[in-house]
A = this chain, B = another copy of it.
C-alpha cells in the first residue's frame, strides 16, 4: 500500500511526519531499537502506551516497511517485531531528539538500557521456555 499514499506536499519533513509525527510512533521505534521485540515488551514502555495505539502503530509501520514481523510461537500465535533497514535509519531522528531534549528540557536523562545504536533482533523466549 506504500505507493498509494497521497503526499500533502513534496517536503520530506511533512511526509516523514505523516508517518511518525505524533507522540507515540517514535517511542515505539525507540523501544524496538532498544531490543524490545514482542507486543508485551513494547507495551511496557515507561510512558504506558495504550494497547490500541501500539497495535495501530505496528500495523502502520509494517505497511510502510519500517518493521517486519515473524511468528515465534504457534499456539497461540505470537509475533516478534523488528525494524527493517528503513526503520533503523530513523535512529538519526531519535538521536537528534535525544540531544535536543537533554539540552533543553530539565529533568530528562537517557534511559538505562542498550544504547540506541546497538540494534539487533533479540530472539523472544517461547512460552514453554518461560515455564521451564
Given contacts A96-B92, A104-B89, contact A109 B22 (CB under 8 A): no
In the complex, whether A71 has a CB less than 8 A from a CB of chain B is no
- A89–B93 CB distance below 8 A: no
Q: Which of A12-20, A72-80, A122-130 is the contact stretch?
A: A12-20
Residue from B15, B24, B46, B98 in contact with A9 in the complex, judged by beta carbons closer than 8 Å: B46
Residue from B14, B96, B106 in contact with A96 in the complex, judged by beta carbons closer than 8 Å: B96
In the complex, whether A11 has a CB less than 8 A from a CB of chain B is yes
B-side contacts of A97, CB under 8 Å: 12-13, 16-17, 93
Interface centre among A7, A19, A26, A97 (most CB of B within 10 A): A97
**How many of A's residues come within 8 Å of B, CB to CB?**
47
Question: CB-CB contacts of A99-123 with B at 8 A, as 1s and 0s?
Answer: 1111111111111000000000000
Q: Which residue of B lies closest to A99 (CB)?
A: B92
CA–CA, A52 and B87, complex, Å: 33
Binding site for B on A (CB under 8 A): 3, 7-19, 21-24, 26-27, 30, 46-48, 86, 89-90, 92-111
Nearest 6 A-B pairs (CB), nearest first? A12-B101, A12-B108, A16-B101, A9-B46, A21-B23, A93-B96
